[in-house]
Structure 1
Amino acid sequence: MDKESNYMEFSLNKDMDIRSRSFDALISYMEHSNEFWYIKDHNSRFIYMNDYGLHYSGLPKGFNPEGKLDSECPVYWSEIADIIQANDRNVMESQKVIPTLMTFMYGGKEKLIQPFLADVTPLVKEGKSIGVVGRAKKLEIYSMYHLENNKCPESISFGKPTDLFTDREFDVVFFALQSLSAKEIAKKLSISHNTVENYLHSIYDKIGVSALNQLIEYCRKNGYDKYAPNRFINPNPYMPLI
């Protein structure tokens, strides 16, 4: 037997492969990562989830998912365990990476919502799939604003970033941040142009500005441009993209 045949391997991307003789080496790499990582066995039971993943997964504090199926985890995404496990099987059988959109609720009572774009990758040993490795990064936005100001992409969260605005006012703020005019915002929200103008005046009064460009500058300064209203959340918390 070729002494290298005992290696397990998976790919981070088309240019970077990870090869190791033990899970310990893989887990050491994942523990120091600021991305969401997990490993499952061939039955789709969790072998490992890093601290970053545990934080965002919505699992109760102190809960250890090791040895558990998705359906055995006390969290909302356990209800779609059949979809998750079917995707795991597809990854292992095809030995191909499947990109997946995941949306997690976390933060206890606050119920913050964070979308992740993940690659579910086959974990291969001696040419056979023995499980899957999930690597997820926060979903990022990249707009003309970032391009013009030489800024890196930023992660996006769902919800209202401040109680300063009502839900409807933040809908208006969100579309204003996409550089839409008041008439275009009215069309998006299926309300009248005058109603949008009234919302804008209320928003301006609250933050002490008098024009759309000032509103946009204020929101970017305070990080409100990194949020989207909850109504844009995909109702499916786990969606394979192929």
Structure 2
Amino acid sequence: MTPANNGVPEESGSGQSRFDILYEDNHLLGIVKPVNIPVQEDATGDKDLLTLLKEDVKERYAKPGNVFMGLVHRLDRPVGGAMIFAKTSKAASRLSESVRTHAFHKVYLTVVHGQPPKTQGRLVDTLLKDPKSNTVSIVRRGTPGGKEAILDYTVIGSAEGYSLLKINLLTGRSHQIRVQLSGIGCPLYGDQKYGAAVNRPGQQIALWSALTRFPHPVTKEDVELISLPPGAYPWNLWTPTIQKQAIR
């Protein structure tokens, strides 16, 4: 297994990246996604992560012409943490196949209000997205346009009325973690969209992509990216050691 922060670049860049790089070679680029940056262009017109990464690679390696950067999975704009991008079309295609065949594994950490009814469990819901409002709701199974959403959660600990959860995402629906946890009465800390009644404007949503594991598209070896949440409240209610043990 190739762990995070241990990728050995096969090409040598001359400059320092503006991103925290977890893994890089000729085929892949793994980074810590900063919070509050859209992954791809959206209606706000704000600079997106794909564009910024292309610029970063172009500058670091003095590449002429356009730089390829393939988007394989997504994170909501306010969410940060480990993400992998493909630097070639072949790598993008093979990683996308890994996602389709569930060989692509993602683990999240989140802090929620209250505590789920069980210390661990599986949530299975049907979700329907409203593109106009960019919101997602839980609907009855069989609702036209509805998509099945499945996640497993484990309660790692509780403090000050909050709980730290480990989330294994089995499907990748829009806003899935936020909607499903709000649906059981445990909205995420800082989530204004699905927990406005218990959160204050300006709070940063406490959802983090902590681990991403997948087979390398060329070598087939397991690649593992690890990124722990920032040390700010409410994350600092649990030590980095507890957080790291939780995602293993």
TM-score range, shorter chain: under 0.3
Q: Flag the structure with higher helix content.
A: 1
Normalising by structure 1, report the TM-score: 0.23
Which structure has more relative contact order (CA 8 Å, sep 6+)? It is 2
